[in-house]
Structure formats: structure tokens, C-alpha cells
Copies of this chain bind each other. A is one copy, B any other.
């Protein structure tokens, strides 16, 4: 039986989970995968943490050089995070001809071109299933499951923290602040939650997934990004009344005008399969020209789900004798002839406060009409203190048309625009 030596860099949540899976299941993999996966060494500055996990003392490496020069190690798992040491160590491992498996979305999003170049040069593998949507095999699916399709659209709930917060706001009527605090207490959100709540995490993943789906480099810089910090429980309740659920969606589309990539809070119809994806669960909904609609659903984070993706990649690498790389030009920036759409089409939800007097609706309609924004449905709530709330959903409209209508409403003092959210019809 083939024996494959593994080194794990960083024994935090994901590295520790991967270590546990590998050691608990060694016999199971010998039996079911016909391969002997052996953790030869780990790199972890917190020695106590490594020992607590059960790592034998002589398996704790002192530095990266010990690992990259170890002929018994053929796969290096990068679970350090960030783009400092992680990048340097991953490149060193590839340079030494070792296959790299990583869960690092920021690293892969920003430096996949550099990593892949080094991997090709040294005939090493580069695997990154764990970088996107935890244990859900979305990357394997894009590469080897629906690769016969032209993917026209992808809509994903690919950040568990924000989905947990939005679910709490929806189900319990919690405020953003309270829901965030609860998520932090449960360990679903970091002390500084900005990477999640501002949509950076989802945007890294969307850049990776849409590059694969659309067969061209989709850099992070092209992703339109809006987080959930401005979402109010009023918006969620109003959307609910109209038949919509609010989700932080990562949307990628291949349109005749170009590629569209965006992360923002989005209302989806309650009947849509994504509307039922709650708590910290994730899902990606793909549309391909042959397969039609496909959805993958599961846990997007956590030691064991992400470890599952890491170890599945390890098994794949250990049981295939050749490595595959991107068939598109994996560059730092987008290719020159690829167009990106910034003035995208979407339906919109708007919540406005207006003076409760005659003629207001006519003025509103006139502004929307001039900006080519047409309305599907509208609810006017009973007035309080001389002011009314109006909630409306538009037809599909260009983003810039809506922005221009909003600016006109504000500057002419016809209405105060409390919220503008996008709607996936």
C-alpha cells in the first residue's frame, strides 16, 4: 500500500480538525482508500496546543525548512491563515515539489497565480476545496462534476457568520447588534467581525468560485461588495411581509455584457431553496446550460467540516498520480479582453419615509419614472406623527438608475430613503 507523508502547518481550528480526522481515520483510509496517510510533522508555535492534540513530540517541527526538506513529506497542509507566513511557506513547499492543500481563501484568492506557477514548475499539486464553503464539495463539483456545463449563474450563501446573524434577525426579530453579539458568544463571529460582516470573506470565495465557473481570472478587485452592517430588523420584517427572506448572497453571472460578481444583502423569495438555508449553514445554487439548477448545501465552516474538505483533497492528491491546473490563464489581474459589468441589473427593495400629505405619491412616481425605475408592488403604512413609511419593490433595473432615483428623492426632499436592498427575482 502506498504510504503518503503529510505535514500540517498551523494547528488552529482547521489544522487541528484535520489532524484529528487524519489520525482517527488512518485505518479507515487504509481500508477504504487503499492509501496510508501518515502525519509526519506539524508546524505549530504553540507547542502545548500540539501536545494537547496528541502530536508526538518528535513530530513537532522547529521551522518550515525541516518540513520542506523532509523526503518523507509529500503533502503540506497550510492552515496558518493570512497572507504572510502562509504564502511564504506554501511557496517553499511547492518549490520543494510538495503538494499543497490549503483552506486559506484570502491567500488563494490573491495569490493563486503565483502558487500555481510554482506548482506547475515543480510538478506539485495545489488543492483548495477547503478555501470555499467548508465541507461542501463545491470546488470538486465545479472541476469534476458539472464541468461539462457553461455556468451562467451562481448564487451562494457562502459565509456562515452573516447567515447566522440574518437568521436570528429573521426568526427572533433581533437587532443586528444583538444578533452579532450572540454570534460572537457562540464563536460564530470573531471579536473583530469585519471580515465576515463587511463581506470580505464572501468576496474572496466568490472570486475563487467564479474564476472556476467562468474559466477566467475573476480578481477580488472586481467584486462589488456590501456587507450587512446597515441591515435593520424593519427591512427584514417588511421583506418578510412581501414574501422575501434576506440573505447575504454572493452572486456571479456570465452575461452577454460581461461577468458580474457581487456580494450584498439580497432578498430572495421564500420559496427559493436558498431561503431555507438557515443558521450557519451555507449553500451554492448553480445554473448550467445542460444540468439546469443544482444546489449544494452544508456546513461552511468549523473544524471538522473544513477538515473534511482538507482530508478529501489529501486523499484525492494521494490517490491520483498527476495534478491538474487551471486551463485558463491564472494571472494576477483579469485578462484584458474580459469585460466586467458594474452597472448590473437587479430588482430593488426601497424603504422610504415621506410626509403624510397629498401629492407625495405622484411626486415619487414622477422621480421613479424619470429614472426608468418601475415599481412591482408598494405598501404604504399608516402614518405616525405626520410621517408615513413606504416600502416598495421595483422591476429589474440598472443599479445606476436606482442610485440616481435615490439621489433625486433625497435632494428634492420628497422622501428620506431609509434602505435600499437588492432583490433576486
By a beta-carbon cutoff of 8 Å, the part of chain A in contact with chain B is: 17, 21, 25, 28-29, 31-34, 129, 134-137, 140-141, 144-150, 215, 273, 276, 288-299, 302, 304-305, 307-309, 311-312, 314-316, 319-322, 324, 327-328
Q: Report the separation of the CA atoms of residues A290 and B149 in the bound assembly, to the nearest whole angstrom.
A: 30
Could you tell me if B304 and A291 are in contact, using CB atoms closer than 8 angstroms? Answer: yes
Nearest-neighbour CB distance to chain B for A218, whole angstroms, equals 14
Please determine whether A321 and B324 come into contact, CB atoms closer than 8 angstroms.
Answer: no
Q: Chain B nearest CB: distance from A229 CB in Å?
A: 29
Number of identical protomers: 2
Known: A290-B21, A297-B273. A149 touches B321 (CB 8 A): no
Choose among B32, B136, B215, B321 the residue that contacts A328 (Cβ–Cβ < 8 A): B32
Q: List the B side residues contacting A144 at CB < 8 Å.
A: 137, 140, 144, 312, 316
Q: Are A308 and B293 in contact (CB under 8 A)?
A: no
- Contacts A34-B327, A137-B145; A294 near B292 (Cβ below 8 A): no
- Which residues from B are CB-within-8-Å of A320? 320, 322
**Complex CA–CA separation, A319 to B327 (angstroms):** 12
**Complex CA distance for A305 and B324, rounded to whole angstroms:** 25
Among A29, A134, A291, A296, residue most surrounded by chain B Cβ atoms (within 10 Å): A291
A135 touches B298 (CB 8 A): no
Cα–Cα distance between A147 and B318 once the two chains are bound (Å): 13
Give the shortest distance, in Å, between A149 (CB) and chain B (any CB).
6
Consensus secondary structure, chain A interface: mixed
> Can you show 7 pairs from A to B with CB atoms below 8 A apart?
A25-B150, A135-B290, A136-B294, A137-B140, A290-B304, A321-B321, A321-B322
The 8 closest A-B pairs by CB, nearest first: A137-B145, A135-B291, A148-B311, A290-B308, A294-B298, A291-B308, A295-B297, A290-B304
Assembly CA distance A29 to B316 (angstroms)? 23
| Nearest B-chain residue to A307, judged by Cβ | B290
Say yes or no: B294 contacts A148, CB within 8 Å.
no
Q: Which residues of B contact A273 (CB under 8 A)?
A: 276, 297
Known interface pairs A21-B290, A295-B297; 10 further A-B residue pairs with C-beta atoms within 8 A, sorted by A's residue number:
A25-B150, A29-B148, A31-B215, A34-B327, A134-B291, A137-B141, A148-B311, A288-B308, A290-B308, A292-B299
Given A276-B276, A321-B321, A327-B34, do A148 and B290 touch, yes or no (CB 8 Å)? no
Which residues of B have CB within 8 Å of A289? 304
Taking A32-B328, A33-B327, A321-B322 as contacts, is the C-beta distance between A148 and B308 under 8 angstroms? yes
Closest to A296 in B: B296
Q: Given A291-B304, A308-B290, do A33 and B298 touch, yes or no (CB 8 Å)?
A: no
Q: How near does chain B come to A222, taking the closest CB pair, in angstroms?
A: 20
In whole angstroms, how far apart are the Cα atoms of A373 and B273 in the complex?
A: 36
Name A140's contact: one of B140, B288, B308, B315 (CB within 8 Å). Answer: B140
A312 engages B137 (CB within 8 Å): no
Question: Are A305's CB and B276's CB within 8 A?
Answer: no
Q: How far is the CB of A22 from chain B (nearest CB, A)?
A: 9
